[in-house]
Amino acid sequence: VKTIALLAERLRVEERQLMHAFAARGWDARLVAPSSLTHSLDGCEAAPATMVLDRSLATAESTLLAVLLSAAGATVVNRPATARLLADRVALIRHLVGAGLPVPRTAVCFGEESALETIDRLGYPAVLKTLTVDPAFPSAYIEDRDSAEALVEHRVTLGGERAMVAQAYIRSRHDRNVRAIVVGNHGPIAYDTRPTAGWRPEPTTSYTRAEHADSALAQVAAEAARRLGSGVYAIMMIESKDGPVITGAENLVDFRALSESGLDVAGAIVDHALFVHEHSRES
């Protein structure tokens, strides 16, 4: 039996769907908790499976794990280079800017004082984010100078943040957040949206499938997917009054609502993973 490791701390609806989809194709998928893993740096460590599907949120740690597993001979989806772009906010924005794609005005600030000056220059409201995705470290919505001073101080003193990403806040003209869902290497396979409450998605809602995307949005999403490459991820977008803007990209960790809408996301992910595995064995 051919086995694949699903990297995730726990079994959610999505991982069960993936296991079924693997089983239907003759593969045995097993849940492997990243927190259970150790990787020796002696140059002769074996990966826990020849094929690994990373089902955790892309962070610096998950990217390193992907790099080490890949170096140990495993096929890893997402590829380490893609995982890095999903974890490293500055690398992602530079990549998108280099491709001429629309992103919020963004600056990296290397200290408390420069952060305040930068937010003043970007204008209010603005958003502060960590350089690298960190599920334990909040992003901050900043409405005015007083709020900027308080939040920067708290991030630096409580969080030990030494550099941060400051971005202009982009308001949605439809009061919603949009995701373009990429699985494989042919661009977005679907779009879903979630109502905005205040400055971020309403917490009690989840993304629901959008029947169609407007052409400007679809065009930007397709070009972004082409630049980010094949993989399994969501491109986060806001429809601003000046057109679509990309605000980030994430591993596609949740897709149960898309599955319920009739789209076989798990099947598409598994087909992509098996395609990458086949292809890597050839090379």
- The footprint of a copy of itself (CB under 8 A) covers 33-43, 59-61, 64-65, 68, 71, 90, 93-94, 97-98, 103, 105-115, 117-118, 131-132, 136, 160, 162-163, 166
Count of other CB atoms within 10 angstroms of residue 131 = 17
Cα 219 to Cα 225: distance, rounded to the nearest angstrom: 10
Minimum distance, C-beta of residue 118 to a copy of itself, in the bound complex (Å): 5
Single out the residue of 207, 209, 212, 113 nearest to residue 164, CA to CA.
113
Minimum distance, C-beta of residue 254 to a copy of itself, in the bound complex (Å): 20
Minimum distance, C-beta of residue 195 to a copy of itself, in the bound complex (Å): 29
Cα 109 to Cα 142: distance, rounded to the nearest angstrom: 15
Cα 279 to Cα 120: distance, rounded to the nearest angstrom: 50
Cα 272 to Cα 276: distance, rounded to the nearest angstrom: 6
Asked whether 66 and 276 are in contact (CB, 8 A), the reply is no
Measured from the CB atom, the residue of 42 and 211 that comes closer to a copy of itself is: 42
Minimum distance, C-beta of residue 44 to a copy of itself, in the bound complex (Å): 10
Measured from the CB atom, the residue of 160 and 203 that comes closer to a copy of itself is: 160
Measured from the CB atom, the residue of 38 and 204 that comes closer to a copy of itself is: 38
Rg (C-alpha) for the chain, rounded Å, is 19
Query: How far is C-alpha 22 from the geometric centre of its chain's CA atoms?
Result: 23
State both tokens at 40: 């020796």
Measured from the CB atom, the residue of 113 and 175 that comes closer to a copy of itself is: 113
Asked whether 128 and 121 are in contact (CB, 8 A), the reply is no
Measured from the CB atom, the residue of 33 and 216 that comes closer to a copy of itself is: 33
Query: Which residues pair with residue 45 across a beta bridge?
Result: none
Minimum distance, C-beta of residue 164 to a copy of itself, in the bound complex (Å): 10
CA distances from 220 to 24, 34, 268 (A): 35, 34, 22
Measured from the CB atom, the residue of 121 and 281 that comes closer to a copy of itself is: 121
Minimum distance, C-beta of residue 36 to a copy of itself, in the bound complex (Å): 5
Measured from the CB atom, the residue of 137 and 275 that comes closer to a copy of itself is: 137
Compute the half-sphere exposure of residue 31: CA atoms within 13 Å on the CB side of its CA.
15
Minimum distance, C-beta of residue 158 to a copy of itself, in the bound complex (Å): 11
With tokens 């003193």, the residue in question is 157
